[in-house]
Structure 1
Amino acid sequence: MLRMDTLLSLLVVSTLPQIVVSDVLSVAPYQAVIEQVVGDSRIFSGESIRLRCSIPEDVKSTWRHLWFKGAEQLRESDEFILWDANVKQSGKYSCQGMRETVVGPIHTLQSVPVEIDVDGGWAILQVPPHPTLVGETLKVTCRVRGNPNLEEVILYRDGVEVMRQTGSNPHVHLSNVNLRDRGLYTCRATWDIRRRSHSVVSVPTQVSISEILTQPVLEVVTRDPLIPANMMRLICHLQYNAHAPAPPIHFYFYKNGNRLTTASSENNEVVKRTPGQYSCKARVPALDLMRWSETKNFGKVTGTEQRILPPKVPKPFAPPKAAPALTPPTAVEPREAWLFPRQPTAAPTYPQLEEETPQPTDAPLKPIHPAAKPQLPDVMPKTSNQTVPPDLVDMSGDFPDALEQLE
């Protein structure tokens, strides 16, 4: 009986490592990547697109590739091709790597989905797949089915015309874009066929504009098992969207306006847990960019602690005023007289500080202190120059219907 129990125990122990290894290795620490080989993510019905799946982190192993449309699994292949695409094939496509091992099949993480839009109309506005950064040039293309010789292309943002160009060039460039340039864009294309003018409008397409360096947000973490109880962690959260290779970014942390640490490439710092007003700053020296976070209070801030806000964007100063010439106290003239040129006079005499000079009684004197400079507003008022959106003609739909309209 004892030998049987021992045998069963050894059998259970021998199978445990295999079970653990199988659970751990069922998902590999790699992620599949989709590459568009032929075509664009927005195509006309009847056109084709070819996608390729790869595992760039593990080039030595032999992987099989599974394709998915949403949650539906498609065929297994290194490349995925849509021949003579139709509108119903629009959707989000992803891929995943798989290979067999002694402990069973291993799968990679699924790739980031690629959205394919099959348009059955006559015009497509092609936009960059990734957000355009502030200060860059936005490049869009107004494609027309059959590539006719265009006469005019008009670009709209949220129904308002932003650019109009004549000629057969379907590419439109918007230089030095900012955050106000993001929105839903459409294009109108016009051309002539057999002395008849035709005009089509694309469906709206979202255009994204991003800042290179977003405003940081400071987080104060007081409960962290990795640091002592009398310490706390400051984390400076932001989004850095510079193109690769991105130059390094430096982080700074402040308490009551005084810098706590030197520049660091890490976005967090452990400091002493004391009340105060904390903030952080992010700076990219190579791009001449700097952003401050909002000040965050921690603990009970006493009135003796002075709140020092981050510096604002410098504003133009008024031209310096020339210092007024000193005159004897008995001949002090009104301030208005300083605006006119003076005649040469003898060398002035300066009053003694301990003497008291009588003031004239016929008219009150104006103060000789310089006038306070006018304060410029922090935010200038914005004016709206939007026009009434034009009546766009939507000729989207299936290709046969659009063809009948042009006959």
Structure 2
Amino acid sequence: MCIKSDVVLKTNTFFLFFVAILTLIANVKSEEPKPTPLPVRAKVKVSAGEARLFSGEDVQLSCSVPDQPEPKWTYHWFRDEESLGSWKVYHLQKSQVQQGGNYTCYGEKDIETWPYSAETLPSEPHTVYVDGGWALLRVPAEPLLIEETMTLTCRIRDEPILVEVLFYKDGIEIHKLKDKDLVLPKLTLKDKGNYWCRATWVQGFEYHSAQSLPVYVAVLDKLNTPVLEIEREEVVRGERVVLRCVTQLNIRDKDLSIDYYFLKDGSRLGPASPQESYLIPFIEEEDAGLYSCRVRVRALDLERLSEQVELKVRLDDV
């Protein structure tokens, strides 16, 4: 009789333990964290139309994940952080002014292992501007580089025959034409700024005139002037110090490399390095001085030098 009771007791105990384990697993699964983003960023691009358009016109945006097969991904869209739903291509048909804004997307797909789904990083914002007026200045969609050519187009709604077009930069008239297109060859850094246009046309035997809103045009150097960063410009003897040389290569060919040189009081601290950081593992009093960095792209024969930064070294932490 006691043996039977012990068996029943053990069976009930095992059953309760099994139920507790299942409950624990269910609770853990219900509290699963959101999928960790993959080290890849989704990308938005205009696949039809233009990102700067008149109200009533159409544009469509596409979301993609670089170097990843498309069929596996579901794409989620946002405008100024407002959810727009899930689409491969997002259409703005007969667009309205209020539909302008910053559009982003991210990709999500199922995977075979826990947490069973994965997300990309959100894309960089892609600005869509919808103009409700009569004049709109078309500018390049991407920042331009020095020595490239820029074309500005003064668009007028319904494309009437133009009599005169004036182009302005930073409040100053720069060109007067009868054509809607202005071509600026061999750009320099001085060509960046706010541009707009004013057009006159004849419609129904009457003269009409309209002016576009200003739009900023960026012109980039091929290699940015570097900035030397030091976490603290006054340190204690014996501390570890990292110098970081911050620059950016703004070219269409992404395969070119940058050589980094670090200097103290104008003298090089070593040979060229592909690394943007330089480590001083144990700072000494004689390491105090003026530090700078130089960057070079050999293939383009480009070279830039940073401003000097003074590093001070104290003997103790008093």
Q: Distance in 1 between matches of 2:144 and 2:215?
A: 14
User: What is residue 117 of structure 1 aligned with on the other side?
Assistant: 129
User: What is residue 339 of structure 1 aligned with on the other side?
Assistant: none
Kept in 2: contact 1:222–1:231 (CA 8 A):
no
2:95 is the alignment partner of 1:67: no
User: What is residue 108 of structure 1 aligned with on the other side?
Assistant: 120
Q: Distance in 1 between matches of 2:241 and 2:204?
A: 76
Counterpart amino acid of residue 278 in structure 2: E
User: What is residue 310 of structure 2 aligned with on the other side?
Assistant: 297
Q: In the TM superposition, what whole-angstrom CA distance separates every residue of 1:194-238 from its partner, at most 9, and x where no partner exists?
A: 543332211111111222222211123579xxxxx5653221112
Match of 1:248 among 234, 240, 257: 257
Kept in 1: contact 2:246–2:276 (CA 8 A):
yes
Unaligned runs of 5+ in 2: 1-8
Q: Distance in 1 between matches of 2:99 and 2:49?
A: 15
Q: Distance in 2 between matches of 1:260 and 1:107?
A: 43
Report the Cα offset of residue 10 of structure 1: 8.9
Q: In the TM superposition, what whole-angstrom CA distance separates every residue of 1:136-178 from its partner, at most 9, and x where no partner exists?
A: 2222111111122223321101221112223xx3221122333
Compared CA separation, residues 177 and 54, structure 1 to 2 (3 A): same
User: What is residue 131 of structure 1 aligned with on the other side?
Assistant: 143
User: What is residue 230 of structure 2 aligned with on the other side?
Assistant: 220
Q: Distance in 1 between matches of 2:240 and 2:180?
A: 60
Kept in 2: contact 1:184–1:205 (CA 8 A):
yes
Superposition pairs for residues 172-251 of structure 1, below 5 Å? 172-221=182-231, 229=238, 231-245=240-254, 247-251=256-260
Question: In structure 1, the residue corresponding to 2:195 is in which secondary structure?
Answer: strand
Match of 2:288 among 270, 275, 286: 275
Q: Distance in 1 between matches of 2:56 and 2:34?
A: 45
Unaligned runs of 5+ in 1: 224-228, 302-407
Scaled by the length of structure 1, the TM-score of the pair is 0.64
2:300 is the alignment partner of 1:287: yes
Match of 1:141 among 153, 161, 165: 153
User: What is residue 152 of structure 1 aligned with on the other side?
Assistant: 164
Say which structure is richer in strand.
Answer: 2
Compared CA separation, residues 222 and 270, structure 1 to 2 (3 A): farther
User: What is residue 405 of structure 1 aligned with on the other side?
Assistant: none
Q: Distance in 2 between matches of 1:60 and 1:137?
A: 35
| RMSD over equivalenced CA pairs, Å | 3.3
Kept in 2: contact 1:222–1:233 (CA 8 A):
no
Counterpart amino acid of residue 64 in structure 1: T
Kept in 2: contact 1:187–1:201 (CA 8 A):
yes
Q: In the TM superposition, what whole-angstrom CA distance separates every residue of 1:89-143 from its partner, at most 9, and x where no partner exists?
A: 2222222222345745543322222221111111110111222223322221111
Q: In the TM superposition, what whole-angstrom CA distance separates every residue of 1:334-373 from its partner, at most 9, and x where no partner exists?
A: xxxxxxxxxxxxxxxxxxxxxxxxxxxxxxxxxxxxxxxx
Report the Cα offset of residue 249 of structure 1: 1.7
Kept in 1: contact 2:72–2:110 (CA 8 A):
no
Counterpart amino acid of residue 239 in structure 1: Q
User: What is residue 3 of structure 2 aligned with on the other side?
Assistant: none
2:292 is the alignment partner of 1:265: no
Q: Distance in 2 between matches of 1:252 and 1:9?
A: 65
Question: In structure 1, the residue corresponding to 2:83 is in which secondary structure?
Answer: strand
Compared CA separation, residues 285 and 193, structure 1 to 2 (3 A): same
Compared CA separation, residues 241 and 20, structure 1 to 2 (3 A): farther
Counterpart amino acid of residue 261 in structure 1: G
Report the Cα offset of residue 270 of structure 1: 2.0
Q: In the TM superposition, what whole-angstrom CA distance separates every residue of 1:290-325 from its partner, at most 9, and x where no partner exists?
A: 211122222259xxxxxxxxxxxxxxxxxxxxxxxx
Q: Distance in 2 between matches of 1:86 and 1:203?
A: 17
Q: Distance in 2 between matches of 1:28 and 1:288?
A: 36
2:90 is the alignment partner of 1:77: no
Superposition pairs for residues 302-341 of structure 1, below 5 Å? none
Compared CA separation, residues 72 and 24, structure 1 to 2 (3 A): closer
Kept in 1: contact 2:146–2:219 (CA 8 A):
yes
Counterpart amino acid of residue 108 in structure 1: T
Q: Distance in 2 between matches of 1:164 and 1:54?
A: 42
Percent of aligned pairs with the same amino acid:
34
Q: Distance in 1 between matches of 2:31 and 2:259?
A: 42
Question: In structure 2, the residue corresponding to 1:128 is in which secondary structure?
Answer: coil
Matched residues, number: 295
Compared CA separation, residues 161 and 222, structure 1 to 2 (3 A): closer
